[in-house]
Structures are given as structure tokens and as C-alpha cells.
């Protein structure tokens, strides 16, 4: 079947009408009363789960493999999804929990950054990783141990300098949500100080427009996670660094990929560009497929 050239793709939605759900303070217009209604439902879904690990389902096969890995290291997969990736009833491993994070928010697009930003409202600790990240068991066991040891108020995440060209541009440095774990105490302190995971943290609802603080933040890069680095630097936040180089070989995305084929959404691109069976064999986790 030939698709219409006028079809609006998932990527287009996230760049236009869906910006509010991509983790961007400049475009987020949902009242906190609705956010609290949504997070109260999320909280109910994971009652009794002490070690939730967010697996964002952009592709069923990849997400199932991630869930199995997470379960092996003693964490509970919590599965969310973007409405633009064709997922409505995700496949789950035993013990995993699915949450429709968009049920009340009802946004045109929904990125993992949304539940991540409001952790303090729905869980005491949350591990997370990108939908396109995999790793061998020995590496994942080390990561899980780091996450286990985090105290309330602490964070672990991948520190990114933005490549060699930005190594000395300190305003571009950030903590990347590629892989990490946060705690309710850290999340609340970040929210109170307007320093979270979202883009354009100068526009955070707790920062007054045109104030000295706003003007200072405007000098910083606007990408996700810059606010976490700002929180660490200016408010004494504790962030344990996961080396970007250490996890790089397990990140399967357009970054660093030659001849990358673009599709209508992330799910399609993962299937088009990467052979999951070959990757699993390379990492010694093919028995989980």
C-alpha cells in the first residue's frame, strides 16, 4: 500500500502540535492540577513496587528485551509509550506494569521526559533508559547496583559534553536521560529550583520571566538535562556520573550511525536500521529473545 504524501508522521507531530508532551517548558501548558491528577493514578499503579524501572515502548521487540534484562537484575519494568508509535496494549513480562501516562494528560505526543520530570509526585525512586539502549548483563548488573545504592536526594545519569567541539563550552554540558536513576528528594528539589530534565529550563514554571535567574539560564544550551547539570553546579545537587563512552556501544540511534534510514516514527526506524537478533548475540543476551 502506498502511503499518502500528506500523511502526518509521529515525528512531525512531536515537532509541531505535540511539543507540549516532548519535555519542553517553553511549550508546556498543562495546569499543575491536571498533572497531579495524572500522577496520582501513576502512583496507584505502582503501589508496593520499590524498584521501578521505566521502559519506554517504542518497539515491542526491543521493549520486551529491555523488560527481561531489567527483571533479571531485580527491578520491576514499568512500561510507558508514545501514542505515535502504534502502541496501545504493550506486551509485558511477568511482574511488569503498564501505565498509560497520557490517559489524563491527553497530549498529541508523549516523551519519557514527562513522567521523569514529575517523579516526586508518584514514586520514591525511578530508574530509566532510552528505548534504543541495550547492554550486556555484566554492565547492567553494575548499573543496577549503583541505582540500588542511591539515597533519597541523589541522581545517577550519563554526563554529556556535547562532543569535543563543546568540551570547553560549559553551558552546553548536561546530564543525559540515556540511562539513569532519580529519587523523589532530588526530583522535588529540582522542581522547586526549576532545574529538571526538560528543554528550555529557563522557562520553567517556577522561574520568573526576565528575572536575573531567567537571564542567566538563557545563556545555557536549551537541550534536555542541562537543568540537571545546572542543579548540580548551582544548588549543590548530587549526581553520580555514568560514562557516556561506557554505554555508547549499546545506544542504537541516528547518532553515530551511517546511512541511517528515517521513518515515520521511532518504532519504524528501529526496525529498519538495526537487527535486534545480531545485537543480542553480540551482547550475549540472545537467550532472552
Do 175 and 158 contact (CB within 8 A), yes or no? yes
Written as one string, the DSSP assignment of 149-174 is HPPTTEEEEEEE--SGGGTT-GGG-E
What's the CATH fold of domain 10-288? Answer: Spore Coat Polysaccharide Biosynthesis Protein SpsA; Chain A (3.90.550)
How many CB atoms neighbour CB 191 within 10 A? 18
Task: Write down the pTM of the prediction.
Answer: 0.95
C-alpha span between 81 and 77 (Å, rounded): 13
- pLDDT for 9 equals 80
C-alpha span between 25 and 32 (Å, rounded): 13
Question: Residue 280 in 3-state DSSP?
Answer: helix
- pLDDT for 3 equals 39
Question: Do the bridges between strand 97-98 and strand 76-81 make them parallel or antiparallel, or are there none, so unpaired?
Answer: parallel
C-alpha span between 56 and 85 (Å, rounded): 11
- pLDDT for 42 equals 98
Which phi and psi (to 5°) does residue 89 adopt?
A: -125, 85
In the chain, domain spans: 10-288
Do 263 and 272 contact (CB within 8 A), yes or no? yes
Question: Which whole-number Å values give the CA distances from 283 to 129, 139, 275, in the listed order?
Answer: 17, 10, 13
Q: What is the CA radius of gyration of the chain?
A: 18
Do 252 and 270 contact (CB within 8 A), yes or no? yes
- pLDDT for 89 equals 80
Do 244 and 158 contact (CB within 8 A), yes or no? yes
User: Mean pLDDT in each 10-residue stretch from start to end of the chain (289 residues)?
Assistant: 52 93 97 98 97 96 98 98 84 97 96 98 98 98 98 98 82 96 98 98 97 97 97 98 97 90 91 97 98
- pLDDT for 163 equals 79
Of 35, 211, 240, 179, residue with least CA distance to 117 = 35
- Beta-bridged to residue 80, according to DSSP, are 56
C-alpha span between 289 and 279 (Å, rounded): 11
Amino acid at each position: 500500500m502506498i502511503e499518502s504524501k500528506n500523511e502526518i508522521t509521529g515525528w512531525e507531530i512531536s515537532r509541531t502540535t505535540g511539543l507540549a508532551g516532548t519535555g519542553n517548558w517553553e511549550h508546556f501548558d498543562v495546569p499543575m492540577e491536571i498533572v497531579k491528577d495524572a500522577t496520582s493514578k501513576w502512583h496507584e499503579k505502582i503501589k508496593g513496587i520499590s524498584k521501578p524501572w521505566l521502559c519506554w515502548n517504542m518497539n515491542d521487540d526491543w521493549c520486551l528485551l529491555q523488560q527481561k534484562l531489567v527483571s533479571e537484575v531485580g527491578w520491576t519494568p514499568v512500561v510507558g509509550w508514545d501514542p505515535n508509535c502504534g502502541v496501545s496494549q504493550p506486551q509485558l513480562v511477568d511482574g511488569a506494569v503498564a501505565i498509560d501516562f497520557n490517559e489524563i494528560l491527553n497530549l498529541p505526543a508523549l516523551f519519557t521526559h514527562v513522567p521523569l520530570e514529575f517523579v516526586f509526585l508518584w514514586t520514591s525512586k525511578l530508574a530509566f533508559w532510552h528505548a534504543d539502549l541495550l547492554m550486556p548483563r555484566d554492565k547492567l548488573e553494575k548499573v543496577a547496583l549503583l541505582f540500588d545504592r542511591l539515597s533519597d536526594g541523589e541522581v545517577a545519569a550519563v554526563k554529556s559534553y556535547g562532543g569535543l567541539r563543546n568540551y570547553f563550552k560549559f553551558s552546553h554540558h548536561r546530564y543525559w536521560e540515556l540511562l539513569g536513576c532519580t529519587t523523589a528528594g532530588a526530583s522535588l528539589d529540582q522542581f522547586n529550583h526549576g532545574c529538571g530534565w526538560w528543554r528550555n529550563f529557563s522557562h520553567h514554571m517556577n522561574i520568573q520571566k526576565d528575572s536575573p535567574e531567567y537571564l542567566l539560564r538563557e545563556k545555557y544550551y536549551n537541550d534536555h538535562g542541562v537543568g540537571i547539570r545546572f542543579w548540580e553546579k548551582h544548588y549543590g545537587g548530587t549526581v553520580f556520573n555514568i560514562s557516556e563512552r561506557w554505554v555508547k556501544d549499546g545506544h542504537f540511534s541516528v547518532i553515530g550511525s551511517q546511512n541511517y534510514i528515517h521513518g515515520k516514527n521511532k518504532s519504524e526506524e528501529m526496525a529498519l536500521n538495526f537487527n535486534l537478533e545480531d545485537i543480542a548475540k553480540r551482547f550475549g543476551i540472545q537467550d532472552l529473545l
